[in-house]
Amino acid sequence: MISPTVYRGTLPNGQLIAIKRSQRGSLQGGLEFKTEIELLSRVHHKNVVGLTGFCFERAEEMLVYEYVANGTLHESLSGKTGIRLDWMRRLRIALGAARGLQYLHELANPPIIHRDIKSSNILLDERLNAKVSDFGLSKPMGDAEKSHISTQVKGTMGYMDPEYFMTQQLTEKSDVYSFGVVLLELVTARQPIEKGKYIVREVRQRMKRDQVLYSLDEILDPAILAPTPKGLEQFVDLAMRCVEEEGARRPAMGAVVKEIENVMQIAGLNPNADSTSTSATHEGDGKGKHPYTDDSLFVYSGTFPLASN
């Protein structure tokens, strides 16, 4: 599939928006755009990126989203944005993303399996609140499909549920597996597959539960080690339960949310308090890299309809 281009834009009222434009001639891209329109027009949650409008005419395919200022979690963990993610901020990001996924699985009508949860599909706003994004591969779960959906395997290597890969039976626990990999990224700042090493296997082999920080010091991100992160062992335990080989042994997202809330309380945070972090805390000059792939300013001209509220 040809990757779409994303622009920053401005509506007549001054509201910033992000515009994803499909490459012409990309059939698969068109199908994914339609999927996003169908699903995002029905979901509304502070931890799910909002769809503002769309264009589907004259061979132009564009999706218009709320503008999310600080790019992706992947970019911040890799140091591209200059935002310093300490342990407390990572816990809040984990909780926000988990709540977004819990909403999709348990409260959306019909429930939605995302199918491509990864750090580059979790966006961070100006207060570093997490928003789940990119629903091109997502699948709604109908009443007749409460247990699983038999479907062609799609997703991103490194995040993909091995049970789904082997059986082609997609369940909400496939998202739980992918989210577990994201949790491991949050503590290691490593990509899921790096230099031929798979982060799930690396953590599983190195873990020593009778040691401080489970003896994972060598692969933990140094940015979270000073001071010693409270609740890290419980956080890693949760991540490893999420990446169990068998889906039946993984927790549901509601249980994942509650466990992250418990970890936050261990760390001295109130899980129900709104984040007070802002993007002002950067390393260096405080100017983060623009989060979208094209810095062109796309000004709304009235040629595509805005979704009604």
Query: Is the sign of the CA dihedral 249, 254, 258, 260 positive or negative?
Result: positive
Measured in whole angstroms, the distance separating CA 214 from the mean position of its chain's CA atoms is: 26
Strand pairing class (294-299; 5-10): parallel
Angstrom distance (rounded) from CA 115 to CA 159: 10
Q: Quick one: which of 140, 18, 108, 144 has its CA closest to 69?
A: 18
What phi and psi, each to the nearest 5 degrees, are found at residue 77?
-65, -30
Angle between helices 172-188 and 232-242 (to 10 degrees): 150
CA atoms within 13 A on the CB side of 136: 19
CB-hemisphere CA count at 13 Å for 249?
9
DSSP-derived 3-state class of residue 296 = strand
The two tokens of residue 290 are: 């623009």
The tally of CA atoms less than 13 A away on the side-chain side of residue 129 is: 19
Contact between residue 232 and residue 242 where contact means Cβ atoms under 8 Å apart = no
User: Where does residue 201 rank: exposed (0-12), middle (13-18), buried (19+ CB within 10 A)?
Assistant: exposed
- 3 state SS of 36: helix
Sign of CA dihedral 222, 270, 116, 161: positive
* Known active-site residue 125: no
Catalytic site residue from 116, 125, 161, 175: 116
| 143's tokens | 């009443």
Residue 232 CA, chain-centre distance (Å), reads 20
- Report, as residue numbers or ranges, the catalytic residues: 116
